[in-house]
Every structure is written in C-alpha cells, then in structure tokens.
Amino acid sequence: MAFFSVYCGFMYNDFMSLPLNLFDSCYNAKTGLRKSPDCVYPVGIDPIWYGTKKELIYLNSFKMKMSVILAIAHMTLGIVQKGINAHYFKDMPRMLNEFLPQLILLLAVFGYMDLLILLKWNTNYTGRTDRAPSVIVTTVNFFLNGGEVKGDDFFAGNQLVSQVLLLIAMVTIPWMLLVNPYLLWKEEQERLKKRKQRGGDVELSNFGSNYEQVPGDLDGDEAFGRSVSMVSDEAIVMEVVGKRKGHGHHGDDEEFDMVAISINSMIHTIEFALGTISNTASYLRLWALSLAHSQLAKVFYDMLLASSLEKGSVIGLFIGFVCWASATLGVLLGMDVMEVMLHTVRLHWVEFMSKFFEGEGYVY
C-alpha cells in the first residue's frame, strides 16, 4: 500500500499538496498557452494545473476515472481467479456457465466504459471541445438510447458497437440464470433413469467380512488355484447408482429440489449483475479518499507553512514546520493510513473476493 501511494503521488504529481516540477511543463506559466501541440508531460499530471481555476474540476475528473479503471482491473482479476479455480478442480459447468458469462458481462459494459475513458484521454479535442463526448452520458445511453453518443463518436461505428455489446451483455443474464439449473435437472433425470434400469437401490446389511460374494465370483473348488477378483462392499454400494427417495446427485443426503436450485441460481445472477454496478461505484472511495487527503494536506500547508515562507520569518518557519510535521504525521500518516487500510481490506474482501471465494469448506 505504501509503494502504491508513492506511485499515485507521482501520477497525481502531488507531494504534500505541492506539485513537483520534475520535468519542463508543456505550458507557458505566464500566458497559459501550450508550448507545442505535440508536447506531453512525461510522468503524471503537468504541474501547471495546480493553482489554476480548473484545478479541482480537472483533478476530480481524472481521479474519478482512474478509480473506475482500477475497479474493473481488480474485479476482472477476481473473476479470472474463479476461472483458474474451475480449471484446477476440473469444474467445466462452472467454467462455462459462471466464469465466461460473468467475464463477458463485466467487460462488455464496464470494460467498454474503461475503453471510452482511455480513448478520450488519447484524443486531442483542441478547437472542438464543444464536440467532446461525455463518458458518463454515453454509458447511460448505452442502456437507454441504443448507445447514442452526444457529440463526436469515440471511434468509427461507436453506436453499432454499443448495441452489439449491450445485446451480448443481455444474453449473459439467461446464460447464468438457466443453463446450470437445466444441466443439474438433466443430470438428475439421467441418474433416476439409470437407477430404474438397475432395479433401484440395494441395501446391504450384516456385512460378515470386508468382501461379499457377488454374481460372477467363483465358488470353492472352481476358485482353487486361480486368481479370484473380490469386490468390496463399498464398491457394490457405489455400483448401484443413486439413493432412495431421489437424493441429490452429489451423494449428499438432501433430496433434489429444482425449485431451490432455481432460486439459488436467480439470487447469484441478480447479485452479480447488480453487484457489477454497486461494486464499481464502491471503488469511487479511492477518488474520495484521494480528494480528502489532498485537501487536508493543502490546508495544513496553507495554514502552517505558507505564511511563514512568504514573510521569511525563521522563528515562524521553525514553529510552523513543527506544527505542520506534527499534523501531517498524526493525521495523514497516522489516522488516515488506518482509514485507508480499512477501505483497502473492504475492497479486497467484498468487491474482489466475492468474485471467486465461497468458503464452503470440504466434505469429510
């Protein structure tokens, strides 16, 4: 977390509320004009933005979009972890009917939104700023107005791609909702059919030994001098498919309940579909925390150090520095670090781990 904080400090070009002019700015400090149309500040935000009238608007927009990009990357990693688990346990129904539709749904909607953010960042709208499309409006229109874009398209065929992605996203809902319950029902029907063909269940009682004679075994003298393959009582029980009264296909003691399975599938589908929206919004706490901490740092600097630096008072600067350092260590590096850690744990436990972690344990 500490290293990532340093990384974000470089990206936001923010050190204790002060911009670091490590490279030459792309703008003229006096006129505010761009020095060259092709100039790009090498790392992070150009320091010229700090102290301008649009500083808060620009930084808020950037941090909000950065939070969404990190959100989709983090949740995608969680869904990929589900796919890895399904592959490890050789669970193809989960791989095909949970991992794939969930990944497709997340990327078709919010991955597409991240793509629009990156495209807008890399497009020069100089001279046509009034035609610059809004990412938020385009995302809302993705659901309501057939992907209509207000302003210039982000790319050729923008609206058609939006419509196709929306259609794909809508297909994943019944995919997650219906396929697995249908496969379980089909498996149960096949199990019942096999049980009926084999004459139902067989109940073995009073096992006299570890092995029982079964049809096909050799008796007494016929077995003398020849190798006899004995079958264990457990193998006999396992050979008879199914249990009495239509018990579950996993060998547990619960009856197969199609209604319960359908309700469970519906709950998980609704939870994931709506969770993609709420979980993405939850990552906006990264934006809120960054904004709050940067403003706190700015207040500490302006109230405790700025006036002493302007006046050139050595005593005032010494006292101001002690107060500023104490406030910074106590609030920003003390209480706020604990606060950020709690938010980090929450994002890992709820938004990330809910994509793959079940915590059901193992059957003994």
Say how many C-beta atoms besides its own lie within 10 A of residue 88's C-beta.
8
Rounded distance between C-alpha atoms, residue 51 and residue 54, angstroms: 8
pTM above 0.85, yes or no: no
Phi, psi (degrees; rounded to nearest 5) at 212 = -120, 145
pLDDT at residue number 201: 56
pLDDT at residue number 230: 47
Q: Please, which residues bridge with residue 34 across strands?
A: 27
Q: Please compute the mean of the pLDDT values over residues 8-37 and round it to a whole number.
A: 82
pLDDT by residue (tens digit) across 186-235? 988 888 888 888 776 544 444 444 444 444 444 544 444 444 444 444 44
Q: Please compute the mean of the pLDDT values over residues 170-189 and round it to a whole number.
A: 92
pLDDT by residue (tens digit) across 89-129? 999 999 999 999 999 999 999 999 999 999 998 888 878 88
Residue 200 identity: G
Rounded distance between C-alpha atoms, residue 64 and residue 73, angstroms: 15
Q: Which residues of 223-236 are buried (b: 16+ CB within 10 A; e: fewer)?
A: eeeeeeeeeeeeee
| CA nearest neighbour of 97 among 3, 11, 29, 172 | 172
Identify which has the larger pLDDT, 22 or 161: 161
Q: Please compute the mean of the pLDDT values over residues 244-266 and round it to a whole number.
A: 67
* % pLDDT > 70, the chain: 84
pLDDT at residue number 208: 44
Angle, vertex CA 127, rays to CA 126 and CA 131, nearest 5: 90
Angle, vertex CA 320, rays to CA 315 and CA 321, nearest 5: 100
pLDDT at residue number 233: 46
Both structure tokens of 37: 């149309």
Rounded distance between C-alpha atoms, residue 74 and residue 273, angstroms: 17
Rounded distance between C-alpha atoms, residue 76 and residue 18, angstroms: 34
Is the model's pLDDT at 357 over the cut of 80?
yes
Extract the runs of DSSP E, i.e. beta strands, from the chain.
211-212, 231-232
CB 81 within 8 A of CB 355: yes
Identify which has the larger pLDDT, 214 or 24: 24
Q: Please, which residues bridge with residue 211 across strands?
A: 232
pLDDT at residue number 192: 87
pLDDT at residue number 292: 86
CB 106 within 8 A of CB 76: yes
pLDDT by residue (tens digit) across 25-82? 888 888 878 888 788 888 888 888 887 888 888 888 888 999 999 999 999 999 999 9
Q: Please compute the mean of the pLDDT values over residues 146-169 and round it to a whole number.
A: 90
Phi, psi (degrees; rounded to nearest 5) at 27 = -120, 150
pLDDT at residue number 352: 94
Helix, strand, coil: what percent of the chain each, to 5? 65, 5, 30
